[in-house]
Amino acid sequence: MNNTQSAAHGLAVHALLDALPDEIAVLGPDGTILAVNRAWRRFAARHGAGGAEAVGAVGSNYLAACHQGSTAGQAHAGISAVLAGASERFQMEYALPTAEGERWFGMSVTPLEAGWRGALVAHTDTTERRRAEAGQRIAAIAFDSPEGMMVTDADGIILQVNASFSRITGYSSAEAVGRTPGMLSSGRHDAAFYQGMWAAIGANGRWQGEVWNRRKNGEVYPELLNIAAVRDGSGAVTHYVASLNDITLSKAASDQIKNLAFYDPLTHLPNRRMLLERLAQALPAAHSSGHHGALMIIDLDDFKTLNETLGHSTGDLLLQKVAARLHACLRQGDTVARLGGDEFVVLVEGLSAQQREAGTQCEALAGKVLAALSRPYGLGPHQCHSTPSIGITLFSGGVEQHADEVLAQADIAMYQAKQAGRNGIRFFDQSMQDSISDRVRLENELRHAIDTQQFELYYQLQVNRLHQPVGAEALIRWRQPDGSTVSPARFIPLAEETGMILQLGQWVLESACAQLRAWRSEPAMAALTLAVNVSARQFHQSDFCEQVCSAVQRYGIDPGLLKLELTEGVLLDNTDDTIASMQALRRLGVRFSLDDFGTGYSSLQYLKRLPLDQLKIDQSFVRDLVNDGNDQAIVLTIIAMARSLNLDVIAEGVETDGQCALLGQLGCQSYQGYLFSKPVPAAALARLVQQGIPGAI
Ligand code: C2E
Ligand code: MG
Ligand code: MG
């Protein structure tokens, strides 16, 4: 090769080397860099920062640069071996910290062609390749997860499945690859389901949901399916990756939880919670559609007796049969639920928009239910009869009706049906509801009245045969802030029911004792007895005797002037305890009068055992006494009975001279009523007593 040729050759080699993407250097036998290509120069300029700038420059010694660090030492040994002709090739990979973070390089050192001593060093950036390999390894491990995995191509042909896929579906990889996921289809989902799924994948690139699939052995199972579309750089779908989880167990568990929460385990009917949920949906639906709905509460008559006499398992059997018969009576969309015990509920929707017509439709259905449930039941060896009572309320969802309210209305109607003699149907009516609302309001007001002391005691005079004052009855008055008064006939029973009577009664007792104390210092009043009404709940308190005793002592009054008025109702329960309490109070000196006598059921035998002082003839016998022979006979009997028991008799509600005269003839000894005085405040009573009663002898 002549010089020109060799120069041309040198240029060609340079051009060739410069065109290569790898960084290449030619080393002389001692490691001096004889030539480098463009990639090498660019690399050295970019990464040869600081004092390392000389590294890689032509004329520098490459071996000398490879002295430090473990990989550098390894490179030095490897390159030296190639230069010395001891090795055919040296390769290594090493990491280099760069401005863009750590990068990896592969170095390959090969001897120059024969005749030339030296070596060719080639560097390649292997960072991307290594990352791709790591990614593949991670993907391989991920693919080997406990979830079933399946990769399909864009046409849905299965390319790859993992071991979990085979475990879940029963199909081996060989059986699955080449087919489509359609082989797993259970047939439980319709075309619309799959259309929705593919639409979601198209729009969002993924879909997740529960699907029913079929295993190779034919078993249908639930799985949680996740599908993701894989797209290439241009956005075209290249693959689909699906992961599937067998949720047979967790679905069974959650179904069971749902069952427990929303269904009655005995009859498998929806329970109260589920019913309230459906009702809550039915109300607005009725409102928007304009159609009426109805709620029916069905309670079995005398179920308790059957349960107790034939045993609970027979009772359960009856409930199951009732559930089945109710089901048979209803249309597809109706709901029948069991509230608990022997109470069932039927929710019917889509009745007529006309209230009257809806009522008729509903009544017809209730009649059908009544007939179905009244047929005899074969319960094991027993043949039983059972009848239901049915309460119905219609709803139209207007005026913010609440599910609880509607249920309460049906309940009220059902109780009405029961009270009307069972085996019947009753519709809820608004007036019934109003009286209940009134009651709630009254209860709140009463509570407030107790807190703010809105009560007063009035006194109604009691006179003897000569119409001379002998005592008074204390009658409570509730004066509301606006000045109006509420009758005790209205609020006393409510106070009884709610227990507020205990506080009220205590207050009355204290006030009455305080009044007796005040009368002690007024000669005209000092001998008057004071009757105090005591209600059942108050009397049956365990410390009632102590309360009375303590009040008597505190006010320093003569206990003989205090008369407790009990009603027959009080005396009927807890007979022995009642008698013991009365006797204890009697020993204290307190007296007893039996109020409203004649309206209860007291037998003579029973009355004999009680330490009573007085019978009070109820005003209902006095009212028509003059004209009603029957009432005359009753009053006569009461008086005869009192005499035989050695008791006083007083008549209440005496309004006319005629009544008073007749009572006197029949043997009555004292009177109380408007004829002598209405109940009045203490001061007015005192004036009355001091002025004298008109007609008093
Ligand atoms: P009661 O104990 O039988 O009281 C008699 C009721 O008849 C009183 O009604 C009285 O105002 C009324 N009355 C009296 N004379 C006549 C009359 O000539 N004609 C008519 N038509 N009525 C007459 P009041 O005050 O409304 O009390 C009603 C009931 O409330 C009482 O019946 C009693 O059961 C209860 N009550 C009143 N105050 C108390 C109390 O302090 N404690 C308890 N536990 N109950 C009370
Ligand atoms: Mg009374
Ligand atoms: Mg009375």
Q: Residues 394, 468: one domain? A: no
Q: Residues 534, 655: one domain? A: yes
pLDDT band for position 260 (cuts 50, 70, 90): confident
33, 59 contact by CB (below 8 A): yes
Residue 329 has pLDDT above 80, yes or no: yes
Q: How many CB atoms lie within 10 A of CB 261?
A: 10
Q: What residues have CB less than 8 Å from 376, skipping those under 6 apart?
A: 383, 384, 385
For residue 605, what is the domain's CATH number?
3.20.20.450
Q: Residues 103, 13: one domain? A: yes
Q: 524 C-alpha to center of ligand 3: Å? A: 26
Smallest CA separation from ligand 1 atom 2, residue: 533
The rounded distance, in Å, linking the Cα atoms of 96 and 98 is 6
**Helix/strand/coil percent split, the chain, to 5:** 45, 25, 30
Residue 65 has pLDDT above 60, yes or no: yes
In which residue are the tokens 């639930």 written? 222
| Identity of residue 194 | Y
For residue 209, what is the domain's CATH number?
3.30.450.20
Q: What is the dihedral of CA 165, 168, 169, 171, to 10 degrees?
A: 60
> Which of 252, 283, 317 corresponds to the end of one domain?
252
The answer to the question of residue 523 being in a domain is yes
Tell me what pLDDT residue 604 has: 65
The rounded distance, in Å, linking the Cα atoms of 188 and 57 is 73
Q: Residues 373, 517: one domain? A: no
Q: What residues have CB less than 8 Å from 455, skipping those under 6 apart?
A: 449, 476, 477, 478, 479, 504, 507
The answer to the question of residue 179 being in a domain is yes
516, 527 contact by CB (below 8 A): no
Most confident of 27-41, 165-179, 562-576: 165-179
Pairing of β 388-395 and β 455-464: unpaired
Lowest mean pLDDT among 52-61, 78-87, 130-139, 366-375: 52-61
The answer to the question of residue 75 being in a domain is yes
Q: How many CA atoms lie within 13 A of 520 on its CB side?
A: 15
Closest atom of ligand 1 relative to the 538 alpha carbon: 44
Query: For 592-617, how does the pLDDT look when each residue is reduced to its tens digit (9 = 90+)?
Result: 999 988 877 666 667 788 899 999 99
The answer to the question of residue 137 being in a domain is no
Tell me what pLDDT residue 619 has: 94
Phi, psi of 634 (to 5 degrees): -65, -45
Q: 663 C-alpha to center of ligand 3: Å? A: 16
For residue 419, what is the domain's CATH number?
3.30.70.270
The answer to the question of residue 437 being in a domain is no
**Higher-confidence position of 129 and 347:** 347
Closest atom of ligand 1 relative to the 596 alpha carbon: 3
User: Using the 8-state DSSP alphabet, how is residue 265 labeled?
Assistant: T
Residue 72 has pLDDT above 60, yes or no: yes
Query: For 681-697, how does the pLDDT look when each residue is reduced to its tens digit (9 = 90+)?
Result: 999 999 999 987 766 65
| Average pLDDT, integer, range 644-651 | 93
In which residue are the tokens 């069974």 written? 252
| Average pLDDT, integer, range 122-130 | 86
The answer to the question of residue 166 being in a domain is yes
Tell me what pLDDT residue 695 has: 60
Query: Is 414 exposed, middle or buried, given 0-12, 13-18 or 19+ CB atoms closer than 10 A?
Result: buried
Total domains in the fold of the chain = 4
Q: Report the candidate in 381, 389, 387 with the shortest Cα–Cα distance to residue 311.
A: 381
Query: In this structure, which ligand is nearest to the CA of 622?
Result: 1
Q: Residues 386, 462: one domain? A: no
| Identity of residue 668 | C
Smallest CA separation from ligand 1 atom 17, residue: 653
Tell me what pLDDT residue 50 has: 40
Q: 595 C-alpha to center of ligand 3: Å? A: 5
Q: Residues 315, 177: one domain? A: no
Q: Residues 110, 203: one domain? A: no
Q: How many CB atoms lie within 10 A of CB 258?
A: 11
Q: Residues 541, 626: one domain? A: yes
Ligand 1 is surrounded, with C-beta below 6 A, by 460, 474-476, 487-489, 492, 505, 508, 533-535, 565, 595-596, 619, 652-655, 673-674, 679
Query: For 577-591, how does the pLDDT look when each residue is reduced to its tens digit (9 = 90+)?
Result: 888 999 999 999 999
Tokens of 170: 């029963």
Lowest mean pLDDT among 452-456, 468-472, 495-499, 678-682: 495-499
Q: Report the candidate in 294, 155, 309 with the shortest Cα–Cα distance to residue 238.
A: 155
Query: In this structure, which ligand is nearest to the CA of 597?
Result: 3
Phi, psi of 96 (to 5 degrees): -135, 125
What residues have their beta carbon closer than 5 A to ion ligand 3? 595-596
Smallest CA separation from ligand 1 atom 23, residue: 653
pLDDT band for position 53 (cuts 50, 70, 90): very low
Mutate to test the pocket of ligand 1, among 509, 533, 548, 563 (most ligand atoms within 8 A of CB): 533
In order of 64, 72, 76, 121, 509, the CA distances from 68 in angstroms are 9, 5, 9, 18, 109
Query: In this structure, which ligand is nearest to the CA of 564?
Result: 2
Q: Residues 462, 344: one domain? A: no
Tokens of 22: 């790898």
Closest atom of ligand 1 relative to the 474 alpha carbon: 41
Smallest CA separation from ligand 1 atom 10, residue: 679
Residue 254 has pLDDT above 50, yes or no: yes
Q: How many CB atoms lie within 10 A of CB 328?
A: 11
Q: 618 C-alpha to center of ligand 3: Å? A: 6
Q: How many CB atoms lie within 10 A of CB 12?
A: 10
Which H or E run includes 565? Answer: strand 562-567
Closest atom of ligand 1 relative to the 457 alpha carbon: 41
Rg, Å, the chain Cα set: 51
Lowest mean pLDDT among 287-291, 343-347, 435-439, 622-626: 435-439
Helices 312-329 and 355-374 pack at an angle, to 10 degrees, of 140
Closest atom of ligand 1 relative to the 679 alpha carbon: 11
Which H or E run includes 619? Answer: helix 619-623
Smallest CA separation from ligand 1 atom 24, residue: 488
Tokens of 60: 């520098």
180, 156 contact by CB (below 8 A): yes
pLDDT band for position 2 (cuts 50, 70, 90): low
| Identity of residue 441 | R
Q: Residues 321, 198: one domain? A: no
> Which of 428, 454, 482 corresponds to the end of one domain?
428
Query: For 348-383, how does the pLDDT look when each residue is reduced to its tens digit (9 = 90+)?
Result: 999 999 888 888 899 899 999 999 999 999 988 888
Q: What is the dihedral of CA 175, 179, 181, 185, to 10 degrees?
A: -80
The answer to the question of residue 696 being in a domain is no
The rounded distance, in Å, linking the Cα atoms of 452 and 181 is 78
Smallest CA separation from ligand 1 atom 3, residue: 596
Q: 1 C-alpha to center of ligand 3: Å? A: 147
Q: 521 C-alpha to center of ligand 3: Å? A: 29
The answer to the question of residue 53 being in a domain is yes
> Which of 106, 132, 158 corresponds to the end of one domain?
132
Query: For 181-224, how does the pLDDT look when each residue is reduced to its tens digit (9 = 90+)?
Result: 999 998 888 888 888 999 999 888 899 988 999 999 988 888 88
Residue 114 has pLDDT above 70, yes or no: no
| DSSP per-residue codes, 86-117 | S-S-EEEEEEEEETTEEEEEEEEEEEPSTT--
Tell me what pLDDT residue 49 has: 43
Closest atom of ligand 1 relative to the 501 alpha carbon: 44
Angle at 488 between CA 487 and CA 490, to 5 degrees: 75
Lowest mean pLDDT among 238-242, 249-253, 630-634, 670-674: 249-253
Q: Residues 195, 282: one domain? A: no
Q: Residues 153, 119: one domain? A: no
Q: 492 C-alpha to center of ligand 2: Å? A: 12
- Domain holding 498, by residue range, is 442-691
